[in-house]
Chain A
Amino acid sequence: MITPPSSAGLFSYVLGLADDALVSAQRLGWWISRAPQLEEDLALANIGLDQLGQARTLLTYAGEVEGAGRTEDDLAYLRDEREFRNVWLVERAQTDFGVAMARLLLFSAWQSELYAALAAGSDPTLAAIAGKAVKEVAYHLDHAAHWVVRLGDGTEESHARMQAALETEWPYVDELFGPVEGAVVDPAVLRPAVLTTVEAVLAEATLSVPQVARARGGGRHGLHTEELGYLLAEMQHLHRSHPGATW
């Protein structure tokens, strides 16, 4: 059992999970109008919007835990790069469809286990948020797995590109399981189940588990790659230029 975290620790932990979902959603949004077919445009938009919904409830909760009166918008749009707590897996550009599917496979396999654990965990608000999200994420995982299998076990060309995409994303897996302040669910305990899920998909896809060095990481401490800054500039521009703008 983990002892109940302090509110500062819990704030940081919830913020990390919220930022993972928020940044991933923003990256998926890039695919709208760029996916191989209109049907896939919609699928990726739906998945991104599911993640955005998760981010909103998590950010709102983080704001409540912090107790400084910050809303979901304040947290999403008015924090700078160093205040974001997302992992590196989600923040880098993903302009290759294979990379996008490899990342979605890894991210949704991790989110599945995370949300299942949170749903049964000690924090009632996180349990409620996770309980709703777990069904959404099951579909994200299913979608990514189907594509990874089709591309991996497809043509020679698609197999090579899917394997390369996997090699690109694999260095960022470790950071998902690193220790974090205020954790309600110890990230390390999720590793076996996540890897079992992913490896089963890779086996069906005739892909091999990459043997690559892990990336440095540091997102949970506010250290990011250069690419997050560009993403935030685009995501936050409207709100910062027109504070309080609504539809």
Chain B
Amino acid sequence: MTNSVKDWPLWEVFVRSRRGLSHVHVGSLHAPDAEMALRNARDVYTRRQEGVSLWVVPSAQIVASEAGQRESFFDPAADKVYRHPTFYDVPEGVEHL
């Protein structure tokens, strides 16, 4: 990663707000290693009871789509209405579909 001892690597933080929900990306932070990243995440992102579970991932390990590819990646989905699951009824009382 980096040779400078002053610059700790960057980590992406994901919080599960309660059981049954997915972990959601909430931001990033610096930490010298994975264990400290988890603790920093606890202190920075869950001090107001935001979550019951935390993930941290080295930012360098995230493979992201590129802005330049946006048109070819995402625009073709625009007119494929038949892909939306809107042609049947959702049973009552189902919250997380």
Contact = CB atoms under 8 A, between A and B. Distances in A.
Interface of A: 37-40, 42-43, 46, 139, 142-143, 146, 150
A143 B44 contact: no
Contact of A42 (B8, B35, B43): B43
Contacts of B36: 146, 150
A150 B47 contact: no
Interface residues of B, number: 14
A79 B34 CA distance: 44
Interface stretch (B14-22, B24-32, B78-86): B24-32
Nearest to B41: A39
Contacts of B39: 43, 142-143, 146
Contacts of A146: 35-36, 39
B35 A39 contact: no
A39 B47 contact: no
A143 B40 CA distance: 10
Residue of A39, A43, A139 contacting most chain B CB atoms (<10 Å): A39
A37 B30 contact: yes
The 7 closest A-B pairs by CB, nearest first: A39-B40, A43-B43, A42-B43, A46-B43, A39-B29, A42-B44, A37-B30
Contacts of A37: 8, 30
B35 A43 contact: no
Contacts of A46: 43, 47
Nearest to A42: B43
Nearest to B6: A36
5 contacts: A39-B44, A43-B40, A46-B47, A146-B35, A146-B39
Contacts of A143: 39
Nearest to B37: A39
A143 B35 CA distance: 10
Contacts of A40: 40
Nearest to A150: B32
Contacts of B40: 39-40, 42-43
Contacts of A42: 40, 43-44, 47
Contacts of A139: 42
A22 B29 CA distance: 30
Contacts of A43: 39-40, 43
Nearest to B45: A42
A146 B34 CA distance: 12
